Each structure stands twice: as structure tokens, then as C-alpha cells.
Amino acid sequence: MSANLQELTQLVRREGLLDSQPVYYTFKIATNLLLLAAGWTLFALLGDSWWQLAVAAFLAVCFGQTDLIGHDAGHRQIFRTRRPGDLIGYTHGNLLTGVSFGWWVGHHTKHHNYPNHLSLDPDILRRQVIFDAKDRSKRTGPVGRFIVRHQAWMFYVLILMEGLRLHISGYVAARKGVLKRHVALDLGLLTLHLAVYLTAVFTLLSPGVAVAFLVVHQGLFGFYMGVMFAPNHKGLPVRDGEDEKLDWLTRQVITSRNLAPGRITDFFFGGLNYQIEHHLFPSMPRRNLRRAQPLVKEYLVRGGLPYAEERLLRSYLSVAGHLGEVSREVAVLERAPAVRGTR
């Protein structure tokens, strides 16, 4: 038997796994908004205190959870039509967390189409580390070479900046003409979020506490987003060339990694720990991914496809191990000209 997307889709559809989940998402959105409101209320009540750093850590998780709802809205998991999905997306992304929903939808859709493609996957192209030794020429200068040389651990340092990069991505996309829809709304909500956020922090807190709050909040937000997405594809096969030779189902499966199921993992990763199922069925509500996992795994294995699944810590070690191997390959390639020159 060979795996067939149409057949697999029929299997999950018969189980009702592609059906919308309005009650679940109503509860999820309401609960998340309450937690986010509680964080900002505590921020206001504490005032100028170093305890605000604990609030910053809590809000970093809240921001990540809020953007996960925006992620689901972008995939039409919450609503099947664009307008209500956009309402949820722009509210949770631009307004509440300062991450451009318009930029993200285009960026993430292309990633889903070409996962781990060195020339076509924007999640590969936007990283400072490299995933194949032949890409070493893209990272020049002393800083770029240092990062590549030490990227096995530098990757986890660099993702501390991911929050800042996410905040400016909408503005960069607008400047490049990448944003195609609701540009004024997108940038307006981003700027409103930034203005209110910075005003609140620097009005309520003394300069030292304010700066520390920003560093902790944005650093942990970026780290949370980074470690949330890192296990999904990093360290798995990459490919290159403008022509995509793999069929859609195969390219999704061989480039995706699941994390071992668990309720805590399900919460913190928002269903992205079922990355194979998510890539095969992006519009499947996250609540159904857990139920879909054993069915999809059995079908794919019977069809002769690999099914990558690891425990959480092991997955991060796999990512670091792959990046370290690329660093070693780069070092060998860079030494080769010198060795030839001495002959």
C-alpha cells in the first residue's frame, strides 16, 4: 500500500476530525483573554516593583498563547470564512501582541507549501543559522561566521530576539510591498499596540524597572515562540532547487516532527506538537489533532512513510545536533582551499 492524501482525508473526515469546534474555541478564546487581562491588571496593581519581572514572564506566555489563537484563525480552524477569521487574527495578532496577522498569513502559508526548502521556505530563509553547509556563503562577516561556527547553541540564544523580529516584521513587509490586504489597518493596529504598550511600561515603571521588564517580557516571548516552533522541522531533511519534486503529502511528512503527546505539551504548544497532522490538515481544529494522531500514524507507517516522533528534550537535542553537524561540515569546506593551497 502507498500513502494517498485523498484516502487519508476520507479517513479523518469520517471520524469528524475536520469538523469545526465552536464551543471549544469560544471557551479557549474567553479563557485566554481572562488570563491576559489578569496579567495586565496585576501589572497595574503592582506599580513600580521588581516583582514586575514575574509579571513579564507570565505575560510572555500569555502573548504566545494569544498568537497561537491567531495562528488557528489564519488556518481557518476557528471560522471557515475569511471575515470572522480576520477579525480574530488581527485582534489577537496586531492589537493584543503586536505581531502582524497580514504578514504572518502570507509567510506561514508559503512555509506550509514548501517546508524545509532552502530556497522557498521563509522560515528557513529568515534564520541567522544555516541548515545546509552550502548555504555558508549567505552568512558573511565576523558575526555571521561566528554564529555559523557556534550555531548548535547560538540558535537558542538568537531566538531571544524572535519577539522583536516578529514585532517589526509587519513594518518590513509593508515597506517591501509584501502586505497586500488591509495595509492601513494592519500597520495602524501594530502602531496602536506599540504606543499603548510602551506608554504603560514607561509611565508606570521607573526607567530601570521598565527596561528590565521589556528585556524579560520580549526575551521570554521570543524564546517561547522560538522553542515552540524549533522542534517542528529543524534537523529533518532539507532540499533545494526551484522545482519542487516531492508530492505534497510526502514533503509534509518527511520534513515534520511530532512531540510525544501529553496534556501539558498540548497546552504549551497549542497543537503544534502534532506537527505532521497539522501540516497534512492545516484547517483541522487543534482539539482534534490529538485524536487524529494515532489514525494518521498508522496509515502513514503502513504506507511506507517515516513518522518522526520524539520526546520534547530529545527533539531540542536533535536540532542542536543537526546544527552542530552543519557547523562541522562548514569548517571542513573552509579548510579545504587552504589544504589544497599548500600542495
For residue 50, give the amino acid letter: W
* Whole-number Cα distances in Å, 52 to 34, 90, 200: 19, 27, 13
At residue 106 the predicted structure's pLDDT band, cuts being 50, 70 and 90, is: very high
Output the nine-digit C-alpha cell for 197.
504598550
Q: How many helical (H) and strand (E) elements, i.e. helices and strands, does the chain have?
A: 17, 2
Cβ–Cβ under 8 Å, residues 162 and 226:
yes
Q: What is the pLDDT of residue 139?
A: 79
| Sign (positive or negative) of CA dihedral 238, 244, 245, 251 | positive
Q: Kindly give the pairing relationship between strand 257-259 and strand 308-310.
A: parallel
Q: What is the pLDDT of residue 134?
A: 86
3-state secondary structure of 285: coil
pTM over 0.95: no
d(CA 99, CA 93): 5
Burial of 324 (C-beta count, 10 Å sphere; 0-12/13-18/19+): middle
Short-list 8, 5, 22, CA closest to 292: 8
Neighbours of 211 (CB within 10 A): 13
Q: To the nearest 10°, report the CA torsion of 205, 211, 215, 218.
A: 60
Q: What is the pLDDT of residue 245?
A: 76
Average pLDDT of the residues in 292-317: 95
Phi-psi region of 116 (alpha: psi -120 to 50; beta: other; left: phi over 0): left
Output the nine-digit C-alpha cell for 48.
513600580
d(CA 76, CA 64): 19
Among 142-146, 190-194, 244-248, 320-324, the range scoring the smallest mean pLDDT is 244-248
d(CA 309, CA 294): 12
Short-list 180, 177, 187, CA closest to 100: 187
pLDDT digits (tens, 9 = 90+) for 42-77: 999 999 999 999 999 999 999 999 999 999 999 999
Cβ–Cβ under 8 Å, residues 170 and 179:
yes
- Whole-number mean pLDDT of the chain? 93
Neighbours of 281 (CB within 10 A): 24
252 contact partners, CB below 8 Å, separation of at least 6:
115, 276, 279, 280
The CA-based angle 294-270-268, given to 5 degrees, is: 110
pLDDT digits (tens, 9 = 90+) for 144-177: 999 999 999 999 999 999 999 999 999 999 999 9
Output the nine-digit C-alpha cell for 244.
519542487
Higher pLDDT, 126 or 94: 94
Short-list 63, 86, 97, CA closest to 185: 86
3-state secondary structure of 84: helix
At residue 333 the predicted structure's pLDDT band, cuts being 50, 70 and 90, is: confident
Higher pLDDT, 334 or 114: 114
